[in-house]
Amino acid sequence: MAAATTLHHRRRSILQLALLLLAASPAAMLATGGACESEEFPAGRSYATCADLPTLGASLHWTYDAAASSLSLAFAAKPPGAIGAGWVAWGVNPTGDGMKGAQTLLAFKSSGAYVVNTYNLTGYRPLSAASTPITFEATELAADEGAHGKVRLYGTLQLPKGMEAVNHIWQVGSTVANGVPAKHAFAQENLEAKGSLVLTGAGATEAAPAPVFISHDYLD
């Protein structure tokens, strides 16, 4: 399930560790030297927790303010193909565990600068060049390029009160054509790019159950 996932906490108390040990499956326990911890963000961007996601070499970094139910996040992944030509996306699915219904942030380079669009993924159809409205208020959207061709997508989502575990999806694509992110590859690691995430960090990300219609489960 979560064998490839590790969680890293900046500040770790004995209590938190004990809770984590209780909550996590044996395969998802803290590991040292996780890749996500070495991600270097620009000044002013820091996150309480990071997780190496199980596929696509992606990582999620976040701070969840439970009182405000506000999620500040950075998603980092390397799109396949030429640097600057592809896209990265991360989203929360409040109604299911796959792509359909996901409320997604997607970053790509447009006229030399990174932009972040929002997409309400309503079905298996091509994306538009423009954002579509999503359920959650999304602010502070930005993206930049990290080391080794990684694209980092930043944003803050206003989640419903008490939504402390979410189903999330992530994805990368090699191409943006005429301002429209083109569909991603259909390799196993693309199709398995989804899971559940405990925002409070007490526990690890877990892979979601396999989708029923896996051959249609793409983001295009």
Ligand X SMILES: *[C@@H]1O[C@H](CO)[C@@H](O)[C@H](O)[C@H]1NC(C)=O
Of the two residues 16 and 132, which places its CB atom closer to ligand X in the complex? Answer: 132
Q: What is the DSSP string of the chain?
A: --TT-EEEESS--HHHHHHHHHHS-GGGS--TT-GGGG--PPTT---SEEEE-SSTT-EEEEEEETTTTEEEEEEEEPPSSSTTT-EEEEEEESS-SSSTT-EEEEEEEETTEEEEEEEE--SSSPPPSS----SSEEEEEEEEE-GGG-EEEEEEEEPPTT--EEEEEEEEES-EETTEEPPPP-SHHHHT-EEEEETT-SS--EEPPPPTTGGG----
**In the bound complex, what is the minimum distance in angstroms from residue 123's beta carbon to ligand X?**
8
Kindly state whether residue 96 participates in binding ligand X, applying the rule CB under 6 A.
no
Number of shown-chain residues binding ligand X (CB under 6 A): 5
Tell me which residues in 118-147 interact with ligand X (CB under 6 A): 120, 122, 133-135
**In the bound complex, what is the minimum distance in angstroms from residue 132's beta carbon to ligand X?**
7
Residue nearest to ligand X (CB): 120
**In the bound complex, what is the minimum distance in angstroms from residue 135's beta carbon to ligand X?**
5
For ligand X, the binding residues (CB under 6 A) are 120, 122, 133-135
